[in-house]
Amino acid sequence: MKKITIAIDGPAASGKSTVGGRLADKLGYLYFDTGVMYRAVTWVALVRGIPIEDEAAVTKLAESLLIEVTRPTVQDGRQYTVYADGEDITWRIREPGVNRYVSPVSAYRGVRQALTRQQRRIGAAGGVVMVGRDIGSVVLPEAEVKIYLDATLEERARRRYREAQQRGTPRDYAEVLEDLKRRDHIDSTREQAPLCVAEGAVVIDSTKMTVEEVVARIRALLKAAKEKDILPPSHKGTKK
C-alpha cells in the first residue's frame, strides 16, 4: 500500500507527540517531532551563552547545528534520542528554561527557514507522521492527511502537570498553565508560519477523548482517504 504523509499540528500538550508516536508505530511509519529541533536550538543557545534576543546569532546557530533524532538509546521513557552536535540532550530540552525561550526562538524567520528545510527533506519520501505547529500549512502542505489536534487550555495544563508528577519532577499547576498560555499566544500570533488550522485539516478536539480514541479517529480518517485514492476516478464521488 502506498505510504502517505500525515501532518499533525496543534497547541502545546494537545497530545500530538503521544498520538503521533502511536499512530506511526501502528502504521510502521517514521515518526518525527519537529518541536525537538526548535527546542535543541534553544537549549544550545542557552548553554553557549548566545543571547536569545540576538536574532542573527541564533539564526547562525540554527543553520550550523547538527540535530539528529534516533531510536531511543536508553529505556527511560523517551520516545527517541536527540543529539545536538553529538551530545545527548533528550531530557534537557524539556527543562523550564527551554519552555521559556523556545517560542521567541521559533519566531525568527531564519531559524524557521533552516529547520523547515531539514524537515522537508525528512518528509519527502512519505511514510511519515510529522508533528508540530506548521506542518500542514508550511512544511508539508501536500500531506494527504492533515490533523489539527486541540483541547482546552485547562485540560492541556492538567496533562502536562500530571506528566511532570509522574516523571518525578513536579511543577506548579498555575505555572504550567501560564507557560502554555504564553507559548500558544506567541506561536499563533507570530508573523512567520503561525499556528493555525491548515487548509484541508480535520480539527479534533481531544478534551474529552482518550489517546486511544484519538488514534482510532485518525485511523478512520486515513482509511477513508485511502479508499478514496484506490477507487478509479469515476468512482471518486465527482457528481456529473
Tell which positions 120-159 bind ligand CDP, by CB under 6 A.
132-134, 159
Distance CA 129, CA 8 (A): 7
Q: For residues 27 and 116, which CB has a smaller minimum distance to ligand CDP in the complex?
A: 116
Query: Is residue 59 part of the contact set for ligand CDP (CB under 6 A)?
Result: no
Long-range contacts of 189-195, Cβ-Cβ distance < 8 Å, separation of 24 or more: 190/103, 190/106, 190/107, 191/107, 191/109, 192/107, 192/108, 192/109, 192/112, 193/112, 193/116, 193/133, 193/134, 193/137, 193/138, 194/133, 194/134, 195/9, 195/10, 195/11, 195/133, 195/134
- Nearer CB in complex with ligand CDP: 35/127: 35
| 192 scored as a contact of ligand CDP (CB under 6 A) | no
89 scored as a contact of ligand CDP (CB under 6 A): no
What is the distance between the alpha carbons of residues 150 and 57, in angstroms, rounded to a whole number?
A: 34
Q: Is 125 helix (H, G, I), strand (E, B) or coil?
A: coil
Q: Does 31 bind ligand CDP (CB under 6 A)?
A: no
Stretch that binds ligand CDP, among 16-24, 47-55, 140-148, 215-223 (CB under 6 A): 16-24
Residue window 34-53: x/- pattern of binding to ligand CDP, with contact defined by CB under 6 A: xx--xx--------------
User: Which residues contact ligand CDP by CB under 6 A?
Assistant: 10, 12-18, 34-35, 38-39, 102-103, 106, 132-134, 159, 163, 183, 187, 206, 209-211, 214
